[in-house]
Amino acid sequence: MLIEDYFTSKAQDKLKEKIKEVAGQEVYCIGRLTGEEPLINEIEVVARGNKVAVPAPATKLSPGEVMIHNHPSGNLSPSQPDLNLAAKFGAQGIGAIIINNKVDDLYVVVEPSLELEITDLDVEEISEIFVADNLLDQTLAQYEYRYQQQTMAEVISKAFNRRTHLLVEAGTGTGKSLAYLIPSIYWAVENDQKVVVSTNTINLQEQLIKKDIPLLKKALDIEFNAVLVKGRRNYVCLRKLYSLQELADQVLENKERESYLKLLDWANDAKTGCRSELVFQPEYSVWERVASESDTCLRSNCHHHGDCFFTKARLKSIKADILVVNHHLLFSDIAVRKEEGMDLEVAVLPKYKHVILDEAHNIEEVATSYLGDRLSKQHLLKFLHKLHPQKAKKGIQGFLMETRFKINQARDKIDKDFRIEIQRMIDNILQPQVLKTTDRANTFFNLLVEFKEQLESKEEKESKLRLKEEIIEVEEWQRIEDETENLLVAMNQLNRKLSGLQNKIELLADADIEDYEGLLVDLVSKIGRLKEMSKILDTVINENDSERVDWLDISRNSKDQVKCSLNSAPINISNEFRDNLLIEMDSIIFTSATLTIDKSFNYIRDRLGLDEDLVAELRTGDPFNYQEQAMLGIPTDLREPYSPEFTSQALNILKELLIENQGRSLVLFTSYGMLNQFYYKLKPQLEETKLSLYRQGEKSRHLLVKDFKQEMAPVIFGTASFWEGIDIPGEQLSSVIIVKLPFEVPTDPIIEAKVEELQDEGRNAFREYMLPRAVIKFKQGFGRLIRTNNDQGSVIVLDKRIITKRYGKNFINSIPQGCQIVVDKSSHLFKKIKEFKD
């Protein structure tokens, strides 16, 4: 191979020049065949210096282009990372060439190929769809042209064409779902590639599947398939359902049996076999028994494979163009791909290279939780109870007894001595070992609770204790380590004994036992799960990983019952996110109404590792006329929230505001404690004035919102998830009251660990982490007010720090442009709110 066969002399000179500029270190360039000859003529440097930087520019490449880099050592053999990247490039029609520093020798790892034909989106055509009198306008009854929506669709189309990633903050009312769905649909259909749309909430998934996608099916001149992909536990497993038939009378209680019979009946005619299709609520314990699960599925060996609801659902997703999923499912797909290869045709989802991440402001939290581990007392005890209960009732109780029963049922087909040997193994070895492990588990978790309560007040109903060095160095912790060892030994012994049972049952392969494969796969899954739990226990207590945070979570409910769990989570997910998503995908579009702080994307870029050379950005602006629609009011006659007078002052002002506004308000708190304190104080007084006061948690969120929409003068007190996702358009919600700026508790283990990490790097953790998180939540809360062009109302902030502290301007600068801001005594403020409304 000669260098002249691949590069023009102009390109060779450019490469020499660029290598010289970095004193012979590594340089990564994109080569393009732009001249008249079929040679690389144009060189663009995309990274310098080290291998870590390689993957970043890789996402900028398009089919037909060539990735070029030098090996300063002169040894041009590709390294393993070079080969990995080359394999990825090859699949995309991208070449890969290694050169020496003198640019007179080369190694072609992958020949440039133009065979993979991708049809770029016609950005003008996509843009046209949004203009007046065109497809959307002609089909959607209440369509309104919005410049912001059209711009968003154009920029996403360009990102798809360039295989780049993009951050888009789209103000409420932009119509962002249509803006990303339309380019996604055209891309998927024209290139026969799937596009995944991932959301955080079920509400948004339902909006996409039930409203937006059906509308687009009518409006667009293109045929496409879109499916909502659900987790497999939503589907009934026919193998489990039918194999329970024989045992149902003996293992189920009356209510459970009723539920089971209804499920059997339903499954005969069910269309999808999905839980959402049920018109009744099955007993939780019964659904748990019959739900489809990955580690208990026999796949093509299952007798019901042809009728399997889950298999049919997955086949549907393979044929679809658009896959709507939740973030959790997306992460579980990526976890499988990480283990088994990113180019796997089907993992949890069929292969895709384009992802829309909607509600992207939540991604760090969701990923942290997905990558985290948890072992709770309830979970471990329930697992052991299902193997063999401590206090057995009448009938066949627990998996071991059921196994014994099944072996006994097949007594004609099994050698008598061998059958007795298995039964003895269950009776004399396994069941006592389960009981021993249960005792150990109880002792261990009780000790954890005792330890925690000795350190802190028992009064706290819910609290987390980070397992920091100063905690695990106290003398009492030694007892916990000893008990961990005891529990681990018991769990490992149990696992070995279960494996012994597995070995025995494997010898019965030819005995023609009813649902033999099912029995075996259920046993193997139990061994796997127990192993997984031991691993979490061992890691959290015995290992000290500086990149993870470990904590105890202990809470007491109103009946003084204790819940206790061990937890672990990664402190920083940016590398994981970058390596497994950014590098692997052609385009990821991160979108939400709340991604920026003071108009900057720096916070989300930093948290997810979205470097500027890797991810472009767009703020669409706000489509509503906020000057006329919204007012931000800040009463000045309140002390700051940490002052002892704050609560009584806030209660008085809140009461007056709610009465003035005749309810129709959402009041947002930062903790359940504060919410309850205000609720119990105000409820009797507000009810005297005919206001209907609701509190988060008294019924489901869906029902609360439904009641709110129907009442004359409703008020909802909410916290946590109520800061986002509540959608009540019109006059019915004309006031949002924010009692305190939503700063998180700095002692929460994850928050504390992330703050420490930033401090260790010499960074300002308040400015770079705590404040941005509070501003994003504040923006979400603010966003509950104006949902349509016709809405009008006020957001009142009772926390004076928004004007007295320097950081307050970050909150104020983050609200939609044009919004009126009134800072005044509450009596004056009330008047101005009234004037604004009139």
Q: Residues interacting with ligand SF4, by CB under 6 A?
A: 237-239, 292, 297-299, 302, 304-305, 308, 310-311
Output the CA angle 294-296-301, nearest 5 degrees.
100
Cβ-based neighbour number of residue 75 at 10 Å: 11
Q: How far is the CB of 313 from ligand SF4 (least distance, A)?
A: 10
What DSSP character marks residue 138?
A: H
CB of 495 to ligand SF4, least distance (A): 23
Shortest CB 237 distance to ligand SF4, Å: 3
Nearer to ligand SF4, 314 or 497 (CB): 314
Question: 227 vs 237, which CB is nearer to ligand SF4?
Answer: 237
> What is the nearest approach in angstroms of ligand SF4 to the Cβ of residue 180?
33
Closer to ligand SF4 by CB, 305 or 837: give it.
305
Considering the complex, what minimum distance in angstroms separates the CB of residue 305 from ligand SF4?
5
Token look-up 């983050």 returns 814
Give the span between the Cα atoms of 645 and 640, in whole angstroms.
9
Strands in 352-357's sheet, in edge-to-edge order, are: 226-228, 322-326, 194-199, 352-357, 587-592, 165-169, 615-619
State the Cα–Cα distance between residues 217 and 226, nearest whole angstrom. 10
Distance CA(10)–CA(18), nearest Å, equals 12
Nearer to ligand SF4, 234 or 670 (CB): 234
Nearest one of 29, 6, 30, 26 to 104, comparing CA atoms: 6
At its nearest, how many Å lie between ligand SF4 and the CB of residue 547?
36
Which residue, 263 or 302, is less far from ligand SF4 as judged by CB?
A: 302
Cα gap 815→797, rounded to integer Å? 13
Report the amino acid identity of residue 356: I
- Of 725, 730, 830, 819, nearest to 781 by C-alpha is 725
The least CB distance from residue 71 to ligand SF4, in Å, is 49
Least distance (Å) between residue 528 CB and ligand SF4? 16
Residue with smaller CB distance to ligand SF4, 299 or 702: 299
| CA–CA distance, 366 with 592 (Å, rounded to integer) | 15
φ, ψ at 301 (rounded to 5°): -85, -5
Query: Do 796 and 657 form a contact (C-beta atoms < 8 A)?
Result: yes
How far is the C-alpha of 65 from the C-alpha of 723, rounded, in Å? 46
- Quick check: helix, strand or coil at residue 718? strand
Q: Which amino acid is at 793?
A: G
Question: Which CB atom, from 297 or from 480, has the smaller least distance to ligand SF4?
Answer: 297
Q: Any bridge partners for residue 166, and if so which?
A: 589, 616
As a whole number of angstroms, the distance between CA 599 and CA 810 comes to 9
From residue 594, alpha-carbon distances to 174, 352, 627 in Å are 13, 26, 20
CA distance 541 to 484: 7
Whole-number Å distance between alpha carbons of 152 and 174: 9
Q: Closer CB to ligand SF4, residue 292 or residue 629?
A: 292
Q: What are the structure tokens assigned to 827, written together? A: 């009596």
Least distance from ligand SF4 to the Cβ atom of residue 347, Å: 16
Least CB distance from residue 273 to ligand SF4, whole Å? 9
Nearer to ligand SF4, 227 or 302 (CB): 302
Residue closer to ligand SF4 (CB basis): 265 or 543: 265
What is the rounded distance in angstroms from the CA atom of residue 120 to the CA atom of residue 186? 10
CB of 632 to ligand SF4, least distance (A): 53
How far apart are CB 627 and ligand SF4 at their closest, in Å? 56
Please, what is the end-to-end C-alpha distance for the chain in angstroms?
80
Q: How far is the CB of 301 from ligand SF4 (least distance, A)?
A: 8
How far apart CA 674 and CA 666 sit, in angstroms, is 15
- Nearer to ligand SF4 (CB atom), residue 238 or residue 705: 238
**Which residue in 58, 26, 50 sits closest to 579, CA to CA?**
58
Closer by beta carbon to ligand SF4, 237 or else 384: 237
CA 536 to CA 534: how far, in whole Å? 5
- Between CA 108 and CA 77 the distance in angstroms is 10
For 596, list phi and psi in degrees, rounded to 5. Answer: -105, 155
As measured in angstroms, the least distance from the Cβ of 317 to ligand SF4 is 15
Q: Which of 234, 238, 178 is nearest to 208 (CA)?
A: 178
Please, which residue, 106 or 349, has the CB nearer to ligand SF4?
349
Give the phi and the psi of residue 564 in degrees, each rounded to 5.
Answer: -140, 135
What is the DSSP secondary structure assignment for residue 398, as one 8-state letter?
S
Q: Select 298 or 336, whichever has its Cβ closest to ligand SF4.
A: 298
Min CB(348)–ligand SF4 separation in Å = 14
Question: Using CA atoms, how far apart are residues 64 and 747, in angstroms rounded to an integer?
Answer: 52
E strand or H helix at 495? helix 477-506
User: What's the closest the beta carbon of residue 532 comes to ligand SF4, in angstroms?
Assistant: 20
CB closer to ligand SF4 out of 139 and 525: 525
CB of 233 to ligand SF4, least distance (A): 10
Which residues, in sequence order, are bridge partners of residue 548? 570
φ and ψ at 46, to 5 degrees? -120, -20
DSSP 456: S
Nearest CB to ligand SF4, comparing residues 194 and 239: 239
Decide whether 298 or 429 has the Cβ nearer to ligand SF4.
298
